[in-house]
C-alpha cells in the first residue's frame, strides 16, 4: 500500500521531487502535479510518467478529481505563494510539506527535530542552507552551549532558479532563525553566496560556532565525534553530504562579537561541508536543491507513517 501525494510547483525542485518519489519511495506515489506554466519541463515529465497535471496552480489541483486520492501536498513554489497554497490545502484536510522559506509551520530538519512535529499539519523544510548546516550547529550544541552560530552557504548560480532568487531575504532570515530554534545557538546569522563559476561548483557550506568558556575545558574529541555522528545520520538520506576536512578548533582569548554586543572568550569551532546532488533530475552541482527534496521526502514518509501506519 502506498499513499497518494501531490506537488505544487513544476520547476527544478518540484521536478526533482517528482523523480525522487517515483524512484525511491516505497510508501508514497505521485497522484498529481500542479504548475502555472503549461510548457514547463516538469509538467511534461509528469505527464510522460502517467501523473495527472494542471497548469492552473493550487486551484486547478484542488479541482482535479485525482485530488480525492491525495493525502499530502508538497509546496515547491515560493514563500510569497505559500500562504494561499497552505490555506487552501489545509482547508481541504490535507497535510502540507513546505519547501519554501515561508515558515508558516514549524521548522523541521529530519535528523534533529522531526520526531517533535509528527502531529503537525504543515511543516517547513527551512532552506537548503538550513538543511545542510543546522545539523552541524545542533551537533556542537549537544556537547557544549553555542552562543553564536554563523553559516555561509555557497551555491552554484546556475542552480538558483527564479524562486530561490526571489526569496534571498527569506532565505537568510529563516536560516538564521533555524540555527537558533533547531540548532540551539543563542544567536544565528546566515549568508548565501550565488557563485557564478563555470563550470558550476558543488554546494559548499561553512559553519562557525562560538562556544564560550575556558578553551582548555572544551572536550574537542566529543565535539568531533558528535559532528561525525550527525554527518552519518544526514548521509542516510543525502548521500552526497560530507565533511571537507576534520572539525577545526581555534581558541579565542577575547574578541568583540557584534551579535552578542560584548566581548567573547572561548573556542571557535569550524565545520566545512560539501553537498553533491544525487543526479536524479538535477546535475551533481545542485546539491542545494537535492538536500531540500531529500529532506522533504524523508519528512513526508515519516508524517504519513505516523498517521496511516504505512511503513516509511
C-alpha span between 220 and 164 (Å, rounded): 36
CATH architecture of 128-285: 2-Layer Sandwich (3.30)
pLDDT at 308: 86
258 appears as a binding residue in the annotation: no
**Is the backbone peptide bond immediately before 77 cis, with ω within 30 degrees of 0?**
no
pLDDT at 164: 78
Mean pLDDT of 214-225: 97
pLDDT at 170: 85
Mean pLDDT of 172-190: 96
* pLDDT tops 90 at residue 232: yes
* pLDDT tops 80 at residue 162: no
Task: Share the mean pLDDT of the chain.
Answer: 95
pLDDT at 169: 86
Active site residue 128: yes
Mean pLDDT of 39-46: 96
List 97's β-bridge partners, or say none.
Answer: 74, 123
Active-site pick, 62, 128, 153, 185: 128
Mean pLDDT of 133-156: 97
164 appears as a binding residue in the annotation: yes
* pLDDT tops 90 at residue 286: yes
* pLDDT tops 80 at residue 310: no
CATH architecture of 3-125+291-308: 3-Layer(aba) Sandwich (3.40)
pLDDT at 168: 86
204 appears as a binding residue in the annotation: no
Say whether 128-285 and 3-125+291-308 share the same fold. Answer: no
119 appears as a binding residue in the annotation: no
129 appears as a binding residue in the annotation: no
The pLDDT-based confidence of 53 (bands split at 50, 70, 90) is very high
162 appears as a binding residue in the annotation: yes
pLDDT at 194: 95
| Domain limits, the chain | 3-125+291-308, 128-285
pLDDT at 255: 87
Give the percent of the chain with pLDDT over 70. Answer: 100
Amino acid at each position: 500500500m502506498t499513499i497518494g501525494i501531490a506537488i505544487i510547483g513544476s520547476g527544478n525542485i518540484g521536478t526533482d521531487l517528482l523523480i525522487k518519489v517515483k524512484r525511491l519511495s516505497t510508501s508514497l506515489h505521485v497522484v498529481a502535479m500542479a504548475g502555472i506554466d503549461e510548457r514547463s519541463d516538469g509538467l511534461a515529465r509528469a505527464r510522460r510518467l502517467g501523473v495527472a497535471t494542471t497548469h492552473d496552480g493550487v486551484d486547478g489541483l484542488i479541482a482535479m478529481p485525482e485530488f480525492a486520492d491525495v493525502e499530502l501536498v508538497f509546496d515547491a513554489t515560493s514563500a510569497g505563494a505559500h500562504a494561499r497554497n497552505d490555506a487552501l490545502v489545509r482547508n481541504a484536510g490535507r497535510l502540507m510539506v513546505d519547501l519554501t522559506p515561508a515558515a508558516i509551520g514549524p521548522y523541521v530538519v529530519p535528523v534533529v527535530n522531526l520526531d517533535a512535529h509528527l502531529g503537525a499539519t504543515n511543516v517547513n523544510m527551512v532552506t537548503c542552507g538550513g538543511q545542510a548546516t543546522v545539523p552541524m550547529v545542533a551537533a556542537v550544541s549537544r556537547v557544549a552551549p553555542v552562543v553564536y552560530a554563523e553559516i555561509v552557504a555557497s551555491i552554484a548560480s546556475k542552480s538558483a532558479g527564479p524562486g530561490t532568487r526571489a526569496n534571498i531575504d527569506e532565505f537568510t532570515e529563516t536560516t538564521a532563525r533555524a540555527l537558533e530554534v533547531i540548532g540551539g545557538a543563542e544567536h544565528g546569522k546566515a549568508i548565501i553566496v550565488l557563485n557564478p563559476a563555470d563550470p558550476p561548483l558543488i554546494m559548499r557550506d561553512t559553519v562557525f560556532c562560538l562556544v564560550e568558556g575556558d578553551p582548555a575545558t572544551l572536550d574537542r574529541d566529543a565535539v568531533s565525534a558528535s559532528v561525525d555522528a550527525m554527518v552519518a545520520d544526514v548521509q542516510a538520506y543525502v548521500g552526497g553530504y560530507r565533511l571537507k576536512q576534520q572539525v577545526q578548533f581555534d581558541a579565542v582569548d577575547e574578541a568583540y562579537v557584534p551579535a552578542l554586543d560584548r566581548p567573547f572568550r572561548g573556542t571557535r569551532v569550524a565545520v566545512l561541508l560539501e553537498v553533491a546532488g544525487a543526479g536524479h533530475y538535477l546535475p551533481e552541482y545542485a546539491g542545494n536543491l537535492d538536500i531540500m527534496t531529500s529532506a522533504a521526502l524523508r519528512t513526508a514518509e515519516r508524517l504519513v507513517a505516523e498517521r496511516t501506519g504505512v511503513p516509511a
